[in-house]
Amino acid sequence: MKRCVIVGGADIENFDAVCRKISKDDYFIFCDCGIRHREKLGVEPNLIVGDFDSHENPNLNIETIVLPCEKDDTDTFFAAKEAVKRGFDEFILIGTVGGRLDHTLGNVSVLLYLFSLGKKAEMIDDFSEMQIVSNETVFVDNSYSYFSLLNITGEAEEITEKNAKFPLENAKINCEYQYGISNEPLPGKTAEITVKKGKALLIKIRR
């Protein structure tokens, strides 16, 4: 099964960085005004979804799902649910960070939704890469300047960060005190981040 790339309508400035993370072999779902990124991404949609309140329907000879303007799901959330129905297990979200904060935070919830279904998902913007970490160890090498670990669900415990400027051992981060921001891998080292209990959002900031 191919990987699914969901393209939202938020601004993308660093297309080079984004394009390095995707492949023309991926399955692309463009959401509403995300279609404006089509040319610079250099890929064609496999599916277009949206209520087309921010971009007119391009009426391409491509499968298109037209959604009502008044609905519970955002276009991006609908795209994720549709991709799950079609059997995808791995996702990248681009064009989903920036602009309206409510949409950005809503798109972070798409990561949580996909994680809850056992799917692998990553959200990429001009500066960073985001993923949910839970009951696992992940690594951040020196190609990243910083990394932050945020509690976004109310529970993130038994956290360890090794080979980092600010190490942690069996720590807890709660939503009221997000002290896990702007850590750094030690020079020449690869940082190891473990979250044994709960879920956390790992944001890796590229150099």
Query: Which pLDDT belongs to residue 87?
Result: 96
DSSP 2: P
User: Running along the chain, 207 residues long, what does each successive block of 10 average in pLDDT?
Assistant: 93 93 96 92 95 77 87 91 97 93 92 96 96 96 96 91 97 94 96 96 95
Q: Please report the domains of the chain, with CATH numbers, ordered by start residue.
A: 4-126 (3.40.50.10240), 132-206 (2.60.120.320)
Structure tokens belonging to residue 15: 């297309």
Report the chain's terminal Cα–Cα distance, integer Å: 32
pLDDT of residue 60: 83
Whole-number pLDDT of residue 67: 87
Q: What is the pLDDT of residue 1?
A: 73
Rounded to the nearest angstrom, the gap between the alpha carbon of residue 159 and the centroid of all alpha carbons in its chain is: 21
What proportions of the chain, in percent to the nearest 5, are helix, strand and coil? 20, 35, 45
Which helix (DSSP H) or strand (DSSP E) does residue 23 occupy? Answer: none
Which residues are paired to 29 by β-bridges? 6, 47
Q: Report the SS3 class of residue 80.
A: helix
The span from the CA of 192 to the CA of 20, in Å, is: 24
Tell me which residue of 130, 144, 149 sits closest to 187, measured CA to CA.
144
Q: Are 37 and 53 in contact (CB under 8 A)?
A: no
pLDDT, position 65: 92
Can you give the pLDDT at residue 146? 97
Q: CB of 96 within 8 A of CB of 129?
A: no
Q: Which helix (H) or strand (E) holds 184?
A: none
Cα atoms in the Cβ-side hemisphere of radius 13 Å centred on 207: 8
Phi, psi of 179 (to 5 degrees): -90, 0
Specify the pLDDT at position 155: 80
Q: Are 172 and 118 in contact (CB under 8 A)?
A: no
